[in-house]
């Protein structure tokens, strides 16, 4: 693949990844978020976070099973956009739900487990985003970096649990089931590939 083609694909992918944020910004500026804009924005940002998480976890199975090795070069970008939307989601909670009252936020975490779980998932993503810097990757070494970045699977489990607790209050589990099935399927595909690969050795 030529350098120009790679650059065009990367720019296009950046544009696609920014579409949800730009669309939500437009809706916020034009009163298009409904009767409760803060809740709508918070919910939408959370939805896009878990969607990007699914995309990140889909990269490795697709690359392995379909031999699309070029996909690996976009995994870091998708991971950073997952962190981007997770950060916006968490900031929406801090600003709109808690009014930037940090003492109230600290007190709120143990009272509402789904907030605690969501914050823990965000903190793991923060660590993964920081250690995605090439200089830090070299300093950590390949094995330690890979071990740390496998915690993305823990983020997936925490995200589903966070989503489940939110939907449990409204007895709405259908969407949670879909995301749980997608993420479980991606993990299973990776496990099956690794098992098949180990048998060939």
The pLDDT profile of the chain, 201 residues, written as one tens digit per residue, is 677 888 888 899 999 999 999 999 999 999 999 889 999 999 999 999 999 999 999 998 888 877 777 788 889 999 999 999 999 999 999 999 899 999 999 999 888 999 999 999 999 999 999 998 888 888 888 788 888 888 999 999 999 999 888 877 666 677 788 888 888 888 888 778 777 767 665
Helices (H), the chain: 3-29, 37-66, 72-92, 102-111, 113-130, 134-140, 142-149, 152-168, 174-200
Give me the pLDDT at residue 1, please. Answer: 60
């Amino acid at each position: 693949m030529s350098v120009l083609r790679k650059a065009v694909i990367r720019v296009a992918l950046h544009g696609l990844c920014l579409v949800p944020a730009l669309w939500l910004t437009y809706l916020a500026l034009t009163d298009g978020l409904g009767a409760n804009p803060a809740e709508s924005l918070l919910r939408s940002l959370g939805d896009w976070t878990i969607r990007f998480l699914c995309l990140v976890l889909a990269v490795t199975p697709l690359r392995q099973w379909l031999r699309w090795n070029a996909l690996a070069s976009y995994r870091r970008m998708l991971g950073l956009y997952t962190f981007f939307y997770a950060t916006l989601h968490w900031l929406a909670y801090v600003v709109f739900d808690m009014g930037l009252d940090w003492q109230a936020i600290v007190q709120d975490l143990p009272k509402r487990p789904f907030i605690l779980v969501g914050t823990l998932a965000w903190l793991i993503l923060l660590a993964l985003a920081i250690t995605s810097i090439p200089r830090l990757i070299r300093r950590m070494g390949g094995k330690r970096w890979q071990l740390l970045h496998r915690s993305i699977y823990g983020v997936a489990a925490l995200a589903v649990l966070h989503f489940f607790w939110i939907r449990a209050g409204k007895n709405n589990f259908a969407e949670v089931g879909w995301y749980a099935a997608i993420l479980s399927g991606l993990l299973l595909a990776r496990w099956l590939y690794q098992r098949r690969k180990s048998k060939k050795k």
